[in-house]
């Protein structure tokens, strides 16, 4: 489970004090002990019971201008500081099942009941309220290929909550939690690892009952743009997709390139040939996903090649049907015999 970091610090600091300390070159959020070492600082910020409300009021007075520029999350998140590529700080608001916002929007926007890991590490502290609940698991990322439906050795640890003042370190690609609503509205503050490499590292959704990967949560714009490039007439764009398919360092993007090349092939045979090259890859993820895509293509081949059922012609209005049956062909062709609007 996420590592609980004991801290008894009683004094309070300002947000600027925390930021100044984290800007020190010795702080490395990718290294567990370095991240755990700043827990006392986060606890001291959490001891400041006024700064968050003051920031929220300031944001409202400015019509949330800074949030519009810096916040890539939903309205649940308030970005407190984002100025480096190493870390950023945010506050999260966690509604309970009794709160109107949860009743109106459902649980999905808050990631409740979605067991998942993280492709980044983060340090969190309970700031307000009883804290959200989580059922915690651990797994060995090095033994996972990453295929949806793949069995994973998930080890259940415990169910607990992030109470006010409690500090937990979520470790990338290790800790899994099924997050549940708090008993009352709660707030947490996070120091988040930030890096340009994170979009290329996969984050998974899990089925904890079946102990398997239910899906991949990480998606990048590159994966969507590859579909456009593969279907573009320009040779330069096609060469780029082929280059990604041959040796992109991110296996997820490499497979996406292979899939789009197969999808833009002249016929099913060429598509299968492209996927066969992917299935022969030395990368287990690329090979496994390519084999699955080959199976899908084979199963839908007749439809793809044009053997789909003929579309049912729209029913004619009584007047149009009578005209079709009784009028001379030349006269019928001049009439509008489309179905009448309801």
Q: Please state, in angstroms and as integers, the Cα–Cα distance from residue 185 to each residue in 68, 76, 95, 293, following that order.
A: 24, 12, 5, 44
For residue 337, pLDDT over 90 is answered with no
| Lookup: tokens for 119 | 């492709």
Residues 167 and 237 in one domain: no
Cα 307 to chain center, whole Å?
36
Contact 206, 173 (CB under 8 A): no
Q: pLDDT of 235-278, one tens digit each?
A: 788 899 999 999 999 999 999 999 999 999 989 999 999 999 99
Q: pLDDT of 59-101, one tens digit each?
A: 999 999 999 999 889 889 999 999 888 999 999 999 999 999 9
> In which band, very low, low, confident or very high, does the pLDDT at 162 lie, cut at 50, 70 and 90?
very high
Average pLDDT, the chain: 90
Residues 199 and 270 in one domain: no
Q: Where are the beta strands (DSSP E) in 232-273?
A: none
Q: Where are the beta strands (DSSP E) in 162-267?
A: 167-170, 175-180, 186-193, 204-207, 212-216
Q: How far apart are CA 52 and CA 45, in angstroms?
A: 10
Q: How far apart are CA 28 and CA 270, in angstroms?
A: 47
Q: pLDDT of 277-335, one tens digit each?
A: 999 999 999 999 999 999 999 998 888 777 544 444 455 455 444 544 554 443 333 33
Which distant-in-sequence residues (6+ apart) come within 8 Å of 132 by Cβ?
94, 161, 162, 179, 180, 181, 182, 186, 188
Nearest C-alpha neighbor of 201 from the set 290, 118, 108: 118
Residues 234 and 280 in one domain: yes
Residue ending a domain, among 183, 216, 249, is: 216
- pTM (2 decimals)? 0.85
Residues 182 and 78 in one domain: yes
Q: Please state, in angstroms and as integers, the Cα–Cα distance from residue 195 to each residue in 57, 77, 119, 249, 296, following that order.
A: 30, 19, 11, 16, 35
Residues 191 and 296 in one domain: no
Residue 225 lies in a domain: yes
Residue 39 lies in a domain: yes
């Amino acid at each position: 489970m996420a590592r609980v970091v004991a801290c008894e610090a009683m004094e309070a600091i300002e947000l600027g004090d925390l930021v100044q300390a984290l800007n020190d070159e010795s702080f490395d959020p990718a290294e567990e002990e370095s991240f755990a070492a700043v827990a006392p600082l986060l606890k001291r910020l959490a001891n400041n019971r006024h700064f968050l409300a003051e920031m929220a009021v300031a944001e409202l007075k400015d019509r949330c201008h800074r949030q519009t520029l810096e916040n890539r999350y939903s309205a649940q998140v308030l970005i407190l500081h984002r100025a480096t590529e190493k870390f950023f700080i945010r506050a999260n608001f966690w509604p309970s099942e009794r709160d109107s916002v949860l009743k109106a929007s459902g649980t999905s926007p808050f990631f409740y009941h979605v067991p998942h890991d993280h492709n980044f590490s983060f340090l969190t502290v309970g700031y307000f309220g009883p804290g959200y609940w989580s059922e915690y698991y651990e797994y060995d990322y090095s033994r996972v290929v990453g295929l949806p439906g793949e069995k994973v050795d998930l080890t259940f640890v415990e169910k607990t909550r992030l109470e006010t003042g409690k500090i937990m370190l979520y470790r990338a690609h290790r800790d899994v939690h099924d997050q549940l609503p708090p008993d009352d509205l709660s707030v947490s503050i996070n120091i988040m690892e930030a890096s340009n490499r994170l979009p290329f590292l996969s984050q998974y959704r899990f089925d904890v009952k079946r102990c398997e990967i239910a899906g991949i949560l990480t998606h990048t714009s590159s994966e969507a743009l590859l579909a456009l490039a593969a279907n573009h007439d320009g040779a330069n764009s096609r060469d780029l997709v082929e280059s990604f398919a041959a040796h992109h360092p991110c296996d997820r993007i490499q497979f996406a390139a292979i899939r789009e090349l197969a999808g833009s092939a002249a016929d099913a045979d060429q598509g299968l040939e492209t996927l066969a090259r992917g299935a022969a890859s030395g990368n287990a993820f690329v090979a496994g996903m390519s084999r699955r895509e080959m199976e899908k293509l084979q199963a839908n081949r007749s439809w793809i090649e044009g053997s789909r059922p003929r579309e049912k012609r729209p029913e004619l209005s009584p007047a149009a049907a009578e005209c079709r049956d009784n009028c001379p062909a030349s006269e019928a062709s001049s009439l509008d015999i489309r179905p009448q609007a309801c």
